[in-house]
Structure 1
Amino acid sequence: MRKFIAPLLVMSFLAAGASVQAREENPFITSKEIDLIKLLPPPPANDSLQTKAELSEVLALQAARTPEMTARSQADATEEIWRFADVMGVKFKREQLPVFAKFFQRVVDSEGAVVDTYKDVWKRPRPFMVSDAVKPVVKLSRSGAYPSGHATAGTLMGIVLANMVPEKRAEIMARAAEYANNRIIGGVHYRSDIDSGRITGTVIAARLQTRDDFNTGFIAARDELRGVLQLGAQPAEAK
């Protein structure tokens, strides 16, 4: 019997370790609290003039795509706050900002918890699913294209981050816009997907600011960030 004890202990230890490593989503808000059907128009029909015009834009950007644009769109395929590092500076690192990192993971989780439900409602096909001429350069997804989750997340992250560091608001929101636009450059979204995502991200950001748990986390994350970046007290206009 003893010869079976060690393997069982090892298996139990590995299972426990896997459960610790697995990160469960912990959004501040879900689709139960935001009804996008009442906020957004339905996506353009697949055979509409608008979709044809948007497909032409995707193909035009594809033709103009440089290696630098490709690399940028591929890097921005990751939904995480650290994509704003080129705006925030060299001290903007996960290992230096544990409270901030945990807070923003909940912010990003909120995007998926709201948007994924409505992607399944509208089921808009992505450009490469409609035209073989589209050659994506980012990881493919066959979930509904509308609204863009990346555009939602980028806008949401940008607004929250800009409220923490209003001194860099213009640069942060410009970066958020680029982050969203890179989904068109990457070949996986239409313009209206991006526009609806930016609206959705703005709505989620506004709704989050009414929640006590969000505001408590925001203050702690903001203070840690501003301390690491040596920015001092937050300007009065953003308090």
Structure 2
Amino acid sequence: MKHLMSGGGRERFIAPLAVLLSLALPAAGGTLHSTYIDPPAMALQRVLPPPPEAGSEAAKADMQTVEAAVRARTPTDERRITANLPCTLDRFGGVLGPAFTAETMPVTAALIERVFQDGELAVLAAKAAIARPRPYTLKPDLATFGHRSDSTSYPSGHATFGYLAATVLSRLVPEKRQALFAFAASYGENRMIAGTHFPSDLEAGKIAAAVIAEALFHDPRFERDLARATAEIAAQGSAPGR
């Protein structure tokens, strides 16, 4: 991180980032770690548009959209939110078919897990720098559903994962590209319906995913693992529709 900032500024950045990392969702091995990218060096906060300024009309509209989504939330929504909470390959089974699970396709699942961890770490670094409060931090009486994270709001990690995984999986199953991105949009929207993210957080996650994906596609280690996942899918004979 030395090239990003130095001295007191660097120390002020590292402290909140360390807190966010300690609060991150547990990875398969218990600790998040990067494989293909240098997450802090991604510096997503330098390329993402800033979130709406506190007190602005845009910020008020953002909150009103969250409140409307929370009021309209149904038990069906809550079941879907719970089912889609983990950031894993299995979440895309409804699009790609029942064969796309960690048990059936361990190489592909491991690739998506590594992609998740790289993306999550890059997002956490951006969250630490941007430090936007969550909707329920600003409105504690908001009827949220599920866990209230102590991390900040912008960009959404789940939205980032949804779009990032959709981008990677589209390389593996290109005929499902449109359906994958449609699912990614709903996967991110779940976080707004739960009351844990603003719509602008979701849009920022979409942008973050594109930036991270571009870095991944230039990494030879990622391309090697992508080729292995391609071979696994071919060996399983698991192209959708078979």
- State the TM-score, normalizing by the size of structure 1: 0.83
SS in 1 for 2:230: helix
The yes-or-no answer on 1:131 pairing with 2:139 is yes
Matched with 1:84 is: 92
| 1:61 counterpart (64, 69, 84) | 69
Matched with 2:59 is: 51
Matched with 1:35 is: 43
2: CA distance, partners of 1:202 / 1:172: 14
1: CA distance, partners of 2:170 / 2:61: 33
2: CA distance, partners of 1:170 / 1:113: 27
How many residues align structurally?
213
| 1:104 counterpart (97, 100, 112) | 112
Could you give the per-residue CA deviations for residues 152-194 of structure 1, whole angstroms, max 9, x where no partner exists?
1111001000111011111111011110111101110001100
Contact 2:37 2:118 in 1 (8 A): yes
CA drift at 1:24: 5.6
2: CA distance, partners of 1:40 / 1:151: 14
Contact 1:27 1:113 in 2 (8 A): no
Identity %: 34
The yes-or-no answer on 1:181 pairing with 2:189 is yes
| 1:167 counterpart (172, 175, 198) | 175
Structure 1: runs of 5 or more not aligned: 1-19, 233-239
Structure 2: runs of 5 or more not aligned: 1-27
CA drift at 1:26: 3.7
Contact 2:44 2:126 in 1 (8 A): yes
> Which one has a bigger Cα radius of gyration?
1
SS in 1 for 2:148: coil
CA drift at 1:215: 0.2
| 2:123 counterpart (108, 115, 137) | 115
CA drift at 1:55: 0.8
1: CA distance, partners of 2:85 / 2:153: 14
SS in 1 for 2:42: coil
Pair 21,148 (structure 1): closer, same or farther in 2 beyond 3 Å: closer
Aligned-partner residue type, residue 39 of structure 1:
V
Q: CA RMSD in A?
A: 1.8
Pair 78,38 (structure 1): closer, same or farther in 2 beyond 3 Å: same
Could you give the per-residue CA deviations for residues 114-136 of structure 1, whole angstroms, max 9, x where no partner exists?
11111111111111111134211
